[in-house]
Structure 1
Amino acid sequence: MEQYRSPLIVYANFHSDMAVEVTAHDVLSRWAEQAPRKIWLMRPGDVLVTPVSLSTAFRGYAAELLRVPADSVTVVTVPPVRGVPMAEAVRRARLMDTLHSLTAERPGIQLLPVALDTSAVDFAARLGVPVAPYGPKGPKASALEAAYRLNTKNGFRAVAGELGIRLAPGEVCGGTNLSRTVRAMLARYERVAVKPDRSAGGYGLSFVSRTDPVPTPGERAGPWVVEQCLDAVRAVSVQMEAFPAGPRLLFSGEMRTTTGSFVGYVSPLEDRAGTFADELEHWGSALGRHLAAHGYVGPYGIDAVLASDGRLYATESNVRRTATITPWVMVDRLNRTGKLSDPAWLLGRGRSRAQHGFADAVGLLRAEELAWESSRGEGVVLYADAPADRRSWRYAVIGANRPRVTELEAALRNAMKLEVILG
């Protein structure tokens, strides 16, 4: 975020057709529950356009930790509309005039979307602002095409093959051939993963063994990807940023998953044996050069698994601002004094036995001396506002190293009586 000197419209367009079909409203709404965390990107003069409102307590908490005046950031809440992208929801809520006024008051303002989709580009044009960081000319059509393609399983498999990125054996098929393809793959492998072409976060993913019923496509005609289900030891990712001059490593880490769904993250990535971290970064660099050649500028990542055979296999690419990038920016900003030379951090979820309001939860952390303190260079941050049920909390833990953040997480779970959320 430091490279964007002008004011920003941070556009939390979770309701987008980039990762899944925009008709998957319930899935997109569940992801959009995390939109309040975009407050950690904000600087004075910025505007946050979000499908989910932010509590006053959370806004004050973030402003205090970031040392940003709470009233220096404008938040515009846009009620989502089933089956349409966020830009259409803005129009139906009659908020375009409001946003035009806000942009007119902020010369040089740019739009920073979560997902660089066609709707966001059109929305920026209607507002008369550039898409960050593409400048007045905007992103090339080839950049949008590359982003859409590489957010599909089929598109990533094709590009990975060109770039020498190792994948699990698999086949691409249409919906009419899904059952036949699954049977053929099960003749070779004991278990297969079945993935809709455009999916993320475990959406639509299923695992099928030889004793299970063969899946049917349902309403999804295809394409589909059917892969050998690997015996995964660890799930890892690398997050990078593409630039014309070459890709830049942001961070890497280990994903916490259950049945293919993301439930947490730990960074930095540990690879004591030196067997896979360099290879993962090499793959990320190759993908970044491919994206830059198509005009894409911005964040992207590769997810992979370390299999029991000791080799790394990529599973998908995500060409957008993923669930871990905003927390990474938050960690960097909170560590403004540089007390931590290379911070370790983790993201987790837990369900408290008792209900807590946001201010009460923060007060509990402070009373237990677990809350983030820049003077100590460690602590817990409730980075995603109070949950609707006042029990299902998302948190970040920051510290000097992985053993320390693990220790702090255990203390947090004890203090708030948190049970692990597995999905």
Structure 2
Amino acid sequence: MSTGLRVVYANLVSGLAVDLDERAVLGAWAEQAPREAWLLDADDVLVSPVPVDEAFCRYVCELMGVARGAVTVVTRPDAFPAPGRPGPRRPAVEAVRAAVAGRPVDAVLPTALDAAVADLARALGATVAPYASADSAEAALEVTRLLNTKAGFRRVALGLGIRVPDGRVRRRAEVAGAVAELLAAHGEVVVKPDRSAGGHGLRFLAAGEPWTGADLAPVGGPGGLWVVEERLDVARSVSVQLETGPDGPKVLFAGEMRTEAGRFTGYRSPLPPAAAPVGPVLERWGHRLGTFLAEHGYAGPFGIDAMVTADGALIAGESNVRRTATTTPRAMVDRLAAAAGAGGPAWATGRLRAAEALSFDAAVRSLSGARIAWEPAGAGGVLLYAGPPVDGRTWRYAVIAADGAAVAGYEEVLRDIWCGER
């Protein structure tokens, strides 16, 4: 039984997903850190690289049934890795200690397992959730790093019998040759940095396009790895999310990803009827990878992203061994639905650009005025799960409803009130 509080460490800024020199993309991801507020219980402390809007924090606490004064938010950009500095700086650690105010810390709950997490846990005299100790978490860093790379996933997947696209792993100087080889075989290819997430850094090429590789970014230094793969005729992008540990893997949920030009923009779960036939295969692949991870000391959440081709084939693209853009929203959905007595609902996340800039409070009022806001006693509704956007217009939202049709209905009303699309 837990005897202390948790420090929710929103390290969306981490070298696991992309190189730490990719400051623009890391900055964009950092803006999503406030969503981790949905994980807070009474007495917990959230450590964020960016400020958490107070109106959003009150909104989360009210919906989750947690008193605003019972949780603490610490904004410390220096608590997260940066180029040449893998761990949190001492002032950041001291700021977290001050926020804890001498209370016992049970665990640090990170978005992703990296060296900075273990360092912070040790400084606080805590473990890293769900590990027994900071040392056991640190022992899992190697396999965590491996499976958060494109090349590492390809190698492990092939060994586990998980189908992946025809491809090559090459150093930067060798990418152009691999592109030429695969273009000759397939006509179209995609070039991926070894560390990439959410579609960042992908490049699509077709036969006949003049390309020498000279403009390829030196990600990871001159010797950085790239993956060149055949470009598939993708009908749907899907994923399965699991957690694993000493007791083996357990499926949490599956769903369909919403993408634009290869970039993740949202999600819907469960799998829609057209994609449901691939669910059992996705789960089998997840169990194989989860068993591999557990055997190498990893414990916690992970997922496999895959593609369903136009002819119905299922092909895996990558693994994400961390909390992903779907993990926290799903935790939010489970908690809210359980409190409302709505077991096993459908849900979705999306991104919508409103016609006019709105404050957070104004955005919430617009949902209430249209009678689509999620309410604890309701059967469904819309939530603003990531806080106010920097531009006041490009909002990330979530929908909880009884089924996929009801989710779509809420989204239609949302587009109407914010964009006038109906």
With the shorter chain as reference, the TM-score category is over 0.9
User: In terms of mean alpha carbon deviation, does 213-222 or 44-53 score higher?
Assistant: 213-222
Compute the displacement of 1:122 (Å).
Answer: 1.9
CA contact (8 A) 2:3 2:104 kept: no
Measured at CA, do residues 5 and 198 of structure 1 come closer, stay the same or move farther in structure 2, by a change above 3 Å? farther
Provide the secondary structure at the position in 2 that maps to 1:275.
helix
User: In terms of mean alpha carbon deviation, does 195-204 or 315-324 score higher?
Assistant: 195-204
Output one character per residue of 1:151-201: Cα deviation in whole Å (capped at 9) or x when no partner: 011100010011110111111111111111111111111100111111111
Q: Distance in 2 between matches of 1:222 and 1:370?
A: 48
Measured at CA, do residues 377 and 344 of structure 1 come closer, stay the same or move farther in structure 2, by a change above 3 Å? same
Compute the displacement of 1:291 (Å).
Answer: 0.4
2:232 match: 230
2:292 match: 290
Provide the secondary structure at the position in 1 that maps to 2:229.
strand
Compute the displacement of 1:309 (Å).
Answer: 2.3
1:147 is aligned, of 137, 144, 150, to: 144
2:123 match: 126
2:93 is aligned, of 82, 96, 99, to: 96
User: In terms of mean alpha carbon deviation, does 257-266 or 117-126 score higher?
Assistant: 117-126
Output one character per residue of 1:325-351: Cα deviation in whole Å (capped at 9) or x when no partner: 100011111112353221111101111
CA contact (8 A) 2:7 2:105 kept: no
1:196 match: 193
User: In terms of mean alpha carbon deviation, does 68-77 or 340-349 score higher?
Assistant: 340-349
1:63 is aligned, of 61, 64, 67, to: 61
CA contact (8 A) 1:38 1:326 kept: yes
Measured at CA, do residues 390 and 90 of structure 1 come closer, stay the same or move farther in structure 2, by a change above 3 Å? farther
2:402 match: 400
2:349 match: 347
CA contact (8 A) 1:232 1:306 kept: yes
Structure 2 letter corresponding to 1:370: I
Provide the secondary structure at the position in 2 that maps to 1:295.
coil
Structure 1 letter corresponding to 2:402: A
CA contact (8 A) 2:194 2:226 kept: yes
CA contact (8 A) 2:126 2:134 kept: no
Structure 1 letter corresponding to 2:244: A
CA contact (8 A) 2:354 2:418 kept: yes
Output one character per residue of 1:377-400: Cα deviation in whole Å (capped at 9) or x when no partner: 200001111112111111001100
Q: Distance in 2 between matches of 1:138 and 1:185?
A: 43
Count of equivalent residues: 415
1:172 match: 169
Q: Distance in 2 between matches of 1:230 and 1:290?
A: 27
Tell me the TM-score normalized by structure 1: 0.93
Provide the secondary structure at the position in 1 that maps to 2:128.
coil
2:32 is aligned, of 31, 34, 41, to: 34
1:8 match: 6
Measured at CA, do residues 335 and 5 of structure 1 come closer, stay the same or move farther in structure 2, by a change above 3 Å? farther
1:79 match: 77
1:357 match: 359
Compute the displacement of 1:4 (Å).
Answer: 6.5
CA contact (8 A) 2:105 2:125 kept: no
Compute the displacement of 1:137 (Å).
Answer: 5.3
1:185 match: 182
Structure 2 letter corresponding to 1:42: L
2:106 match: 109
Output one character per residue of 1:264-321: Cα deviation in whole Å (capped at 9) or x when no partner: 1001112457531100011001100000001110000000000112110000000000
Q: Distance in 2 between matches of 1:87 and 1:103?
A: 23
Q: Distance in 1 between matches of 2:5 and 2:81?
A: 30
Measured at CA, do residues 128 and 68 of structure 1 come closer, stay the same or move farther in structure 2, by a change above 3 Å? same
CA contact (8 A) 1:87 1:120 kept: no
Provide the secondary structure at the position in 2 that maps to 1:52.
coil
2:205 match: 208
2:338 is aligned, of 304, 311, 336, to: 336
Output one character per residue of 1:101-152: Cα deviation in whole Å (capped at 9) or x when no partner: 3445322421111110112212222232211111235325552111100001
User: In terms of mean alpha carbon deviation, does 8-17 or 138-147 score higher?
Assistant: 138-147
Structure 2 letter corresponding to 1:59: C
User: In terms of mean alpha carbon deviation, does 336-345 or 142-151 score higher?
Assistant: 336-345
Compute the displacement of 1:85 (Å).
Answer: 8.1
CA contact (8 A) 1:350 1:394 kept: yes
Provide the secondary structure at the position in 2 that maps to 1:364.
helix
Q: Distance in 1 between matches of 2:398 and 2:73?
A: 23
CA contact (8 A) 2:380 2:402 kept: yes
Identity of aligned residues (%): 46
Provide the secondary structure at the position in 2 that maps to 1:8.
strand
Q: Distance in 1 between matches of 2:270 and 2:165?
A: 25
Structure 2 letter corresponding to 1:67: G
2:218 match: 219
Tell me the TM-score normalized by structure 2: 0.94
1:22 is aligned, of 17, 20, 23, to: 20
Provide the secondary structure at the position in 2 that maps to 1:240.
strand
Measured at CA, do residues 319 and 85 of structure 1 come closer, stay the same or move farther in structure 2, by a change above 3 Å? farther
Structure 2 letter corresponding to 1:72: A
CA contact (8 A) 1:15 1:84 kept: no
Compute the displacement of 1:78 (Å).
Answer: 1.0
Structure 1 letter corresponding to 2:183: L
User: In terms of mean alpha carbon deviation, does 358-367 or 398-407 score higher?
Assistant: 358-367
Provide the secondary structure at the position in 2 that maps to 1:138.
helix
CA contact (8 A) 1:350 1:418 kept: no
CA contact (8 A) 2:240 2:253 kept: yes
1:49 is aligned, of 40, 47, 50, to: 47
Structure 1, unpaired ranges of 5+: none
